[in-house]
Amino acid sequence: MKFPAMPIVILLVVSLCAFPGCGGKDGGEEARAEVAEAATAFLDALGDLRVEGLREMLTEEYLSSNQVPELLTADHVVAALGYLNSYRFSPDVDIALNGDRAVITLVLDISGIGEKEETLAMQKRDGAWKVDAFTAMDWSRKPPPKRGEDEEERVEVEEALREFLIACLDGRTDYVFQHLSKGYKERHRLERPWTSAEFSGIFGRARSYDFKPQEIEMEKDSAEVDVTIEFGSTGNLEPQTSRVRLVKETGGWYIDVFPFFLY
């Protein structure tokens, strides 16, 4: 069996000679065909990363003992198994039946790992064959964390601070005024943007800025980071470093503490 979405395409055919309609049928052959059908459906779902209905293919004991997530995602499957390129087993050779339990020896091709032999055990419950053990999957391996709300806000803070600093260097006083927090304006009694001359007096002549985004410290609706600004003229630059604070207000992040402005 192969999965078109997988990076490595290998065609491996599951033997069908034990399925109904292929020769005589006794109780063992029928059970073997049912096991092969259930196993194939399970492995196809893994290869296609189809998680809908996947938990229903597992016994309650398997779900509990392996702590399979209730809200199962494709990322969970990839973490536990990897990317399944293909698999192969022969129902009439590789399935061992023992009453309502079956053990399948199969070969998997996992992306980046290659082929390896694994064991899939199935148990018949309420007339359906379900996965009761699978040596290829380790559910203790968790998917890497996705970008969380804090990280997304950190990016927003970085962008807001960069735009503000660039506006300061360019002398765009309207933008600077609009992106000061309400608290900052109240504390410094600012009611309108500075003129160019006024701004030059409180900020001076800045040439460049620098800060490390990874050092932004996030708290609830606020963020702080050390910022370095170089002041002066070419050949006579003086770097100054101060702690800048931003707060989250309606519409985005605003500068709340900016020690580079001198009144």
Pairing of the two strands 236-249 and 252-257: antiparallel
Considering the domain delimited by 149-257, tell me its CATH architecture. Answer: Roll (3.10)
Give the residue among 215, 209, 214, 205 at the shortest CA–CA distance from 227.
209
Alpha-carbon span 239 to 76, nearest angstrom: 48
Q: Is the pLDDT of residue 10 over 50?
A: no
Query: What single-letter DSSP state applies at residue 194?
Result: P
Domain extent listing, the chain? 27-134, 149-257
**Contact of 222 with 241, CB cutoff 8 Å:** no
Fold match between domain 27-134 and domain 149-257: yes
DSSP string spanning 68-97? --SS--HHHHHHHH--EEEEE--HHHHEEE
Dump pLDDT digits (tens) for 146-183: 556 567 889 999 999 999 999 999 999 999 999 999 99
Dump pLDDT digits (tens) for 194-244: 999 999 999 999 989 999 998 999 988 999 999 999 998 777 889 999 999
What pTM, to 2 d.p., does this model score? 0.51
Block residue for tokens 């968790």? 142
Q: What angle do CA 176, 178, 180 make, to 5 degrees?
A: 70
Residue 9 banded pLDDT, cuts 50, 70, 90: very low
Domain 27-134: which topology? Answer: Nuclear Transport Factor 2; Chain: A, (3.10.450)
